[in-house]
Chain A
Amino acid sequence: MPMYQVKPVSGSHVKTDLPTCMYAVPNVHALQNGEVEPAVKALEARQDEIMRKLYELKAAVEGLAKTVTTPDADLDLTVSSSSSLSSQSPTSTTFRGTTDLDALLGKVTILKLDLGALRDIVINANPAQPPLTLLVLHSVLCQRYRVLSTVHVHSSASSVPPQLLSCLGPRHPDSYARQMFQLGFTLIWKDVPKLQMKFSVQNMCPVEGEANVARFLFKLLSPYPSDPAVATLVDSWVDTAFFQLAEGSSKERATVLRALNAALGRNPWLAGPEFSLADIACYCCVLQSASASSAPTNVQRWIKACENLGHFGPAKLYLK
């Protein structure tokens, strides 16, 4: 309760407009009739647009930051691992792939509308070490998407045998209109020390090594198994295939074949009940190291099972 109360001096509350701006200056950019020049308006509009995008970006980054620091990232694998390996894995690795290339590869353009231009994957390979895995993945990709495949010989490569020139199959009759294809697969035979893939020069650095390129291409067909244990198993078989089967000494190869035999004794396929990238990689490396005939029984059975799937036609054709 206030001590002294004074009656208001003025009757009603007068509404006063308090100015927000101390000194007002006429608009320098205004034309004669006081209107603002359209170019300036456009500039303001663009700036507002940029600020809005910036806020959106900020919100997206904050969202990402949250997902990284949530408890899911520290998921305790030991609890769930044993159950998922033996049970049916929820995501199927058969090739019911998504046709939403936009989501997988990102939009081609940033500023303007998507022009529907061809997304070209460029692979530089050495003719002395043809990448069988990639040829197999290519034929699977062709079944899933409209792929424009071309083979080039770089000026640094001296002589390339003719079967390498036709390894991606016959020329597509529509190849004169590149816009009609979703994906481009350009194979360049070049004198490179290590196989290399280039996709988006601005956003990605080149991907090196047949194993890594195989992983990239496989992700276009179907996502990696969501169970991290299975995914790691697939990855480790892929690495084993490329480092020890393909490039290792005969002792290492023998060890790997024994490991393959043991794994295939428990499961029909290397990474469990489903066919995966691990099977593709190991099959191609086994074939390339010419140890197919001398492989143990489980491995031989597995090789026949792979061939029955029908994806491995080009690999066998090349090796003939």
Chain B
Amino acid sequence: DGEFSAKRASTALPRCLLLPLADNKQKTDRVLVRVQDLIPEKADQLIWLRARVHTSRAKGKQCFLVLRQQQFNLQALVAVGDRASKQMVKFAANITKESIVDVEAFVRTVEQKIESCSQQDVELHIERIFVISQAEPRLPLQLEDAVRPDGDGEEEGRATVNQDTKLDNRVIDLRTTTSQAIFRLQSGVCQLFRDTLTEKGFVEIQTPKIISAASEGGANVFTVSYFKTSAYLAQSPQLYKQMCICGDFEKVFCVGPVFRAEDSNTHRHLTEFVGLDIEMAFSYHYHEVIDSITDTMVRIFKGLRDNFQTEIQTVNKQFPSEPFKFLEPTLRLEYTEAVAMLHEAGVEMGDEEDLSTPNEKLLGRLVKEKYDTDFYVLDKYPLAVRPFYTMPDPNNPKYSNSYDMFMRGEEILSGAQRVHDAQLLTDRANHHQIDLEKIKAYIDSFRYGAPPHGGGGIGLERVCMLYLGLHNIRQTSMFPRDPKRLTP
């Protein structure tokens, strides 16, 4: 249907057509141009282009289309004339939104800038248009609505899209400029993490996710049936990272999924997320580990600041936020200083008490006020609030060689120097009343000579969320998993 031949064309080749699926049978020499490359310098060239139809609207004898490729779009028009008939214009106007089309067109310059498109100085005059893949006419959500900032929607009475709807129809939501920008930035974070650590001499490892015993203790593990018995999904790669250090790899990192069966429905918890974990042996003081981790983080921030500005600006259009600030070298405060700052601000808390989430946020604001940084390290936590494998401070038994790192007042990394002596580890485990049978394999790995080591892990989604100043971790997780969501 829609087949039509031009009045004066000698060939009977159709100029607009719904191509059948089996049409991808031949490899052609046709070169498809990218929308972002269409600039006034290419004026009057005849090009082929594959893009999505963002909108199509008929106006009398013309049909205006906006064609989109990822974050770029431009205007195209089909006009009744010697190259196109009325039926062709009608065909173009009826192409459903989001359908993928192949277009042969002339690039023409325009006198007035087209403000609503990314390519503002050119438009396409279509010679031929073919539909490669048609979209259903009723879309579950409109892309303009999905990108609209929340405030605007309420004021002008225009719709914005609920987060749940977006997550249920993730395939369409991922096409928006904001989502494209967020996930490109996330890919950048992962890339920078790998590159920086590889440059520092770290080795990437892959650790098993099906394990026999819960490593951190506690009930927040998923159980899977494993042939005749059951096994658990790894809460963190901690145990295996440390075994690699005992296996003489000295500096390792791993990127992989982490599963936490916490029934928390908050803005920053997922049941499955991507963990970027580091572990390294040090020579004389665990601050070597802290310096290494903070240097990596600063390099990641600098890489994002220098190479991903377009993506950051795109996200800020829908979710405005302050740009991320940091110091180099990274600010390191001690726990006692933090408690003093909180006391000064009127918070009542004990010296050995853990920081509650509101206190962490307040501390983040105080540090931001005094030092103007969104990223800092809090060192020397009290021993009582840390897990059993944390090395106590040799100078002060109340404290431990452990540290947390914060971005925008929220914790992103919890790390420490690990106990590398089997006897001390057993003592600490007994002190915490942990069943030694369950962690026998863990303690055994330190019996045959283990170097002093430490490390920590960050969550990829949380780091992206906090860097961009977003408020819900589901925005930075492509297909998020939480206690209430298991699909898509």
The answer to whether the Cβ of B370 comes within 8 Å of any Cβ in the partner chain is: yes
The answer to whether the Cβ of A304 comes within 8 Å of any Cβ in the partner chain is: no
- B377 to nearest A CB, angstroms? 12
The answer to whether the Cβ of A198 comes within 8 Å of any Cβ in the partner chain is: yes
Report yes or no: A188 in contact with B340, Cβ–Cβ below 8 A: no
Residue of B nearest to A198 (CB): B370
The interface on chain B, measured as residues whose beta carbon lies within 8 A of the other chain's beta carbons, has a size of 34
Known: A110-B343, A155-B327, A176-B285. A188 touches B372 (CB 8 A): yes
Q: In the assembled complex, which residues on chain B have CB atoms less than 8 Å from the CB atom of A117?
A: 334, 336-337, 339-340
- B255 to nearest A CB, angstroms? 25
Which chain A residues in 110-127 approach chain B with CB under 8 Å?
110-112, 115-118, 120, 122, 124
Q: In the assembled complex, which residues on chain A have CB atoms less than 8 Å from the CB atom of B343?
A: 108-112, 115
A201 to B318, CA, bound (A): 33
- A42 to nearest B CB, angstroms? 14
Report yes or no: B340 in contact with A109, Cβ–Cβ below 8 A: yes
The answer to whether the Cβ of A186 comes within 8 Å of any Cβ in the partner chain is: yes
Residue of A nearest to B286 (CB): A176
Determine chain B's interface SS by DSSP, over half rule: mixed
Report yes or no: A202 in contact with B340, Cβ–Cβ below 8 A: no
Known: A110-B343, A110-B344, A179-B334. A186 touches B326 (CB 8 A): no
A106 to B326, CA, bound (A): 29
Q: Which of B331, B333, B341, B346 interacts with A152 by CB under 8 Å?
A: B331
The interface on chain A, measured as residues whose beta carbon lies within 8 A of the other chain's beta carbons, has a size of 30
Q: 1/0 per position for A178-205, CB-CB distance to B under 8 A?
A: 1100000010101000000010111100
Q: Which of A112, A150, A190 interacts with B372 by CB under 8 Å?
A: A190
Q: In the assembled complex, which residues on chain B have CB atoms less than 8 Å from the CB atom of A154?
A: 325-327, 372-373
Q: Which of B334, B346, B366, B371 has the most CB of A within 10 A?
A: B371
Residue of B nearest to A175 (CB): B287
The answer to whether the Cβ of A177 comes within 8 Å of any Cβ in the partner chain is: yes
Known: A152-B327, A155-B324. A109 touches B344 (CB 8 A): yes
Q: 1/0 per position for B372-400, CB-CB distance to A under 8 A?
A: 11000001000000000000000100000
Q: In the assembled complex, which residues on chain B have CB atoms less than 8 Å from the CB atom of A118?
A: 334, 337
Report yes or no: B327 in contact with A153, Cβ–Cβ below 8 A: yes
Residue of A nearest to B325 (CB): A155
Report yes or no: B337 in contact with A178, Cβ–Cβ below 8 A: yes
- A119 to nearest B CB, angstroms? 9
The answer to whether the Cβ of A156 comes within 8 Å of any Cβ in the partner chain is: yes
Which chain B residues in 272-315 approach chain A with CB under 8 Å?
285, 287, 301-302, 305
Known: A115-B339, A152-B331, A153-B328. A201 touches B301 (CB 8 A): no
Q: In the assembled complex, which residues on chain A have CB atoms less than 8 Å from the CB atom of B325?
A: 154-156
Report yes or no: A115 in contact with B366, Cβ–Cβ below 8 A: no
Q: Which of B334, B344, B373 has the most CB of A within 10 A?
A: B344
A124 to B325, CA, bound (A): 14
Report yes or no: A120 in contact with B337, Cβ–Cβ below 8 A: yes
A270 to B370, CA, bound (A): 35
A202 to B344, CA, bound (A): 7
Residue of A nearest to B393 (CB): A177
Residue of A nearest to B347 (CB): A111
Q: 1/0 per position for B343-375, CB-CB distance to A under 8 A?
A: 111101001000000000000001001111100
Which chain A residues in 31-59 approach chain B with CB under 8 Å?
none
Q: Which of B336, B379, B395 has the most CB of A within 10 A?
A: B336
Q: In the assembled complex, which residues on chain A have CB atoms less than 8 Å from the CB atom of B334?
A: 117-118, 178-179
- B287 to nearest A CB, angstroms? 5
A1 to B89, CA, bound (A): 129
Report yes or no: A201 in contact with B340, Cβ–Cβ below 8 A: no
A153 to B302, CA, bound (A): 12
Report yes or no: B305 in contact with A155, Cβ–Cβ below 8 A: yes
The answer to whether the Cβ of B329 comes within 8 Å of any Cβ in the partner chain is: yes
Q: In the assembled complex, which residues on chain A have CB atoms less than 8 Å from the CB atom of B366?
A: 201
A52 to B344, CA, bound (A): 21
- A140 to nearest B CB, angstroms? 24
Report yes or no: A122 in contact with B344, Cβ–Cβ below 8 A: no
- A302 to nearest B CB, angstroms? 38
Report yes or no: B370 in contact with A152, Cβ–Cβ below 8 A: no
Known: A109-B340, A117-B339, A188-B327. A202 touches B345 (CB 8 A): yes
Report yes or no: B372 in contact with A115, Cβ–Cβ below 8 A: no
Q: In the assembled complex, which residues on chain A have CB atoms less than 8 Å from the CB atom of B285?
A: 176
- B213 to nearest A CB, angstroms? 35
Q: Which of B331, B336, B372, B373 interacts with A179 by CB under 8 Å?
A: B336
Which chain A residues in 283-319 approach chain B with CB under 8 Å?
none
A178 to B333, CA, bound (A): 8
Residue of A nearest to B331 (CB): A152
Which chain A residues in 158-183 approach chain B with CB under 8 Å?
176-179
Report yes or no: A111 in contact with B348, Cβ–Cβ below 8 A: yes
Report yes or no: B336 in contact with A152, Cβ–Cβ below 8 A: no
A153 to B339, CA, bound (A): 26
Which chain B residues in 238-296 approach chain A with CB under 8 Å?
285, 287
Q: In the assembled complex, which residues on chain B have CB atoms less than 8 Å from the CB atom of A109?
A: 340, 343-344
Q: In the assembled complex, which residues on chain B have CB atoms less than 8 Å from the CB atom of A122?
A: 370-371
Report yes or no: A201 in contact with B337, Cβ–Cβ below 8 A: no
Q: In the assembled complex, which residues on chain A have CB atoms less than 8 Å from the CB atom of B331?
A: 152
Report yes or no: A177 in contact with B336, Cβ–Cβ below 8 A: no
A109 to B336, CA, bound (A): 11
- B133 to nearest A CB, angstroms? 44
A111 to B347, CA, bound (A): 9
A111 to B324, CA, bound (A): 34
Known: A120-B337, A179-B334. A201 touches B369 (CB 8 A): yes
Q: In the assembled complex, which residues on chain A have CB atoms less than 8 Å from the CB atom of B333?
A: 178
- B469 to nearest A CB, angstroms? 14
A122 to B372, CA, bound (A): 10
- B382 to nearest A CB, angstroms? 13
A188 to B328, CA, bound (A): 9
Known: A153-B327, A154-B325, A155-B325. A186 touches B371 (CB 8 A): yes
6 residue pairs bridging A and B, Cβ less than 8 Å apart? A110-B343, A111-B343, A111-B346, A117-B340, A155-B325, A188-B327
- 8 closest pairs, A vs B, by CB? A152-B327, A117-B340, A109-B343, A117-B336, A117-B337, A153-B328, A178-B334, A202-B344
Beyond A112-B343, A154-B372: 12 further Cβ-contacts under 8 Å? Answer: A108-B344, A110-B344, A111-B348, A115-B339, A115-B351, A152-B327, A153-B327, A155-B301, A155-B305, A178-B379, A201-B344, A203-B344
